[in-house]
Structure 1
Amino acid sequence: MDRGGCIYIMSNLARTTFYIGVTSDLYARIQEHKTKKYPNSFTAKYKLHFCIYYEMQPSIEEAIAREKEVKKWSRSKKIKLITTLNPKWNDLWEEIQQW
Structure 2
Amino acid sequence: MLVGDGKGITIITGSKSAGGGSTTRRSASFGAGGDGFIARDISFVNTASPSKGQVVALVVTADKSVFYRCSIIGYQDTLYTLSNQQFYRETDIYGTKT
Q: Above 0.5 in TM-score?
A: no
TM-score, normalising length from structure 2? 0.25
| Structure whose residues are more often helix by fraction | 1
| Structure whose residues are more often strand by fraction | 2
Asked which structure has the greater RCO (Cα within 8 Å, sep 6+), the reply is 1
TM-score, normalising length from structure 1? 0.25
